[in-house]
Chain A
C-alpha cells in the first residue's frame, strides 16, 4: 500500500506546500505541469510568443515568491491562473498596448465566452500538442525551414541565402506548409456562419 502511495503523483497543493518549505524540485514539477497551460492561456490573448514568455515568466516568479513567503493557495491551478491574469493586465498597462494596431485586420463579431481560463488554456494546449505531432510528420527540409523562420527569426531572403535556394522557392514552400498546418489544426468553426 505504501508502494502505491509512493507511486501516485503528488497533488498540486502538496507540491506547493513542499515548495513553501524550500523544495526547489517541487516548484519545478509544478512548472512542468503548468508552464504549457499558462502559456496557452496567454498566447490566446497576446498572440505574440515573446510577450507570452515575458508574462509567463512573471507569473511563475510571482507564484514562487508567494510560496516562499508562506502563502499557500487552496486551489493551486485557480490561484496560478489568477496570477497570470494579473501579470497580463500589468504587462498590458506597462506597455500601454493600444487596443488596435493600424495594421490589424477587422475582428469578427464577438460571441459570449463562458469558458474558464483553464478550459481555454486546455484548448490551446491541445492545439500545441497537435502541432507537435504535425511537425514531427514533416520532412527534415521543411522542419529546418520552419526553424529558420520561427526559431532564428530569419527573413525569407536570409533563409534563401542560408539554404542556397531562390527566395521564391522559400516562400512557396513556406506558404504550402502553413496552409497544410492551418487546415489540419483548425477545428470546425460551428459558431460561424
Chain B
C-alpha cells in the first residue's frame, strides 16, 4: 500500500485503534504514525474511546463477577491478609524503584517506530539503546548500591527482572542515516557528517505508588561524554545542566512520560540539537543521570525520598564523509 496522507490516515485511525483494519491498511497507518505527530495524537484519543467502549460493554458483567467473589469471600471463614513482612516489602520497594526510573524501547530498525518517541517534523528515529539503573539509594538511610540492590533477578524473587530505560537517538531524516543493532546492548549508528542529534528519555513508574521526579537544575546531574575525532572525552561543562523538560514529573503507577534533554554537551542555549558530528569517524557517547525522586505518602506507605542513578552503555556512532 502506498504512503498515506494525513486525511487518508485519519479515516482509518479509529478502526486501527479498534484493531479492525485489514493488515495492509494497518501497516500503512503504522508507517504514517511513525512520522506524523498530529495523527499520533488523534490515535491516542481513538484508543481512549475504544477502551471506554470496551469497558462500558463489560461493566455490568464485571460488576456481577465482583459481587459474586465478594459474597464468596464473605462466606469464607479465613481472612487472607496478604501484606508481606516489612523486610520483603522494603526489598520489593527497592526493586520497584529500579523499575521506576527507567523504561525501555528496543531496537526497531530504520523506518520503524521507536515507541515513546515523538519525532519532530523532519526528524526520524533511527536507533534506541537501553539505559540501565546503576544505583539506587534512599535518603533515609536505606541505601542499596548497585549491584547489591536487586538489579537482575532480585534476591528471593527470581521472576522479577529490572525493566530498562530508553535513550533515543534522533537524527535529522535528511542525514541519510543508517543504524544497525549489535548483539548485547550496543547500538551503532551511521550518519552523515554534520548530522545533528537530539536525545530524550522515557521514564516509567512501575512502583505501586505515585512518584515525583525532580528534574530541575539543582537536583539533577548529568554526565555526558562524547569521544571521537576532534573530541576527546568531552564532558558537559562544569556547572552545565542538561535542561530537562519538564522540570518536574509526576508519574502515577504504570504511567510513562517523556523527558527531553534539550542541551547536553554543546550547542547554543535552548537549542534542541545538542551534538553535531561534524567530522567523519567513530564517536562514542556515554550518558549517566542522577535524578531525585519523591514518593508521596499513600494510605499504606509513608512518604520517602530517593536518588536514582541511570547509566547507558556506550552508543557508538560511525560518521561517514559527505
Contact = CB atoms under 8 A, between A and B. Distances in A.
A155 B52 contact: no
A56 B64 CA distance: 13
A88 B18 contact: no
Secondary structure of the B contact surface, majority rule: mixed
B184 to A, nearest CB: 19
A149 interface: yes
B52 A174 contact: no
Interface string A33-48: 0011001000101111
A100 B253 contact: no
A135 interface: yes
Interface string A13-47: 00000000010100110010001100100010111
A110 B257 contact: yes
A65 interface: yes
A49 B300 contact: no
Contact of A43 (B17, B52, B119, B210): B52
A166 interface: no
A127 B52 contact: yes
Interface in A51-95: 52-53, 56-57, 60-62, 64-66, 68-69, 73, 78-83, 85-90, 92-93
A99 B208 contact: no
A109 B247 CA distance: 12
Nearest to A62: B82
Nearest to B66: A57
Contacts of B69: 57, 61
B49 A47 contact: no
Given A68-B79, A92-B253, A178-B18, A106 B56 contact: no
B104 A131 contact: no
B79 A49 contact: no
Nearest to B299: A82
A22 B255 CA distance: 37
Interface stretch (B199-207, B226-234, B283-291): B199-207
Nearest to B17: A178
Contacts of B151: none
Contact of A48 (B51, B70, B119): B51
12 contacts: A39-B62, A68-B79, A85-B209, A86-B209, A103-B115, A104-B113, A107-B202, A107-B258, A110-B258, A174-B14, A182-B46, A185-B49
A186 B66 contact: no
B204 to A, nearest CB: 4
Contact of B105 (A45, A100, A117): A100
Interface residues of B, number: 87
B59 A39 contact: yes
Given A28-B67, A89-B208, A182-B14, A106 B246 contact: no
B5 to A, nearest CB: 17
In the A-B complex, the 4 residue pairs with the closest CB atoms: A89-B208, A82-B299, A110-B257, A99-B103
Contact of A99 (B96, B116, B210, B249): B116
B57 A47 contact: no
B79 A65 contact: yes
B66 A106 contact: no
Nearest to A192: B41
B20 A105 contact: no
Contact of A132 (B40, B56, B62): B56
A150 B51 CA distance: 9
Contact of B58 (A45, A151, A185): A151
Given A105-B113, A192-B41, A98 B104 contact: yes
A179 interface: yes
A184 to B, nearest CB: 10
Interface string A144-184: 00110111000110000000000000010011001101100
Contact of A85 (B65, B160, B210): B210
A96 B43 CA distance: 25
Contact of B202 (A62, A99, A155): A99
A81 B52 CA distance: 20
B173 interface: no
B73 A64 contact: yes
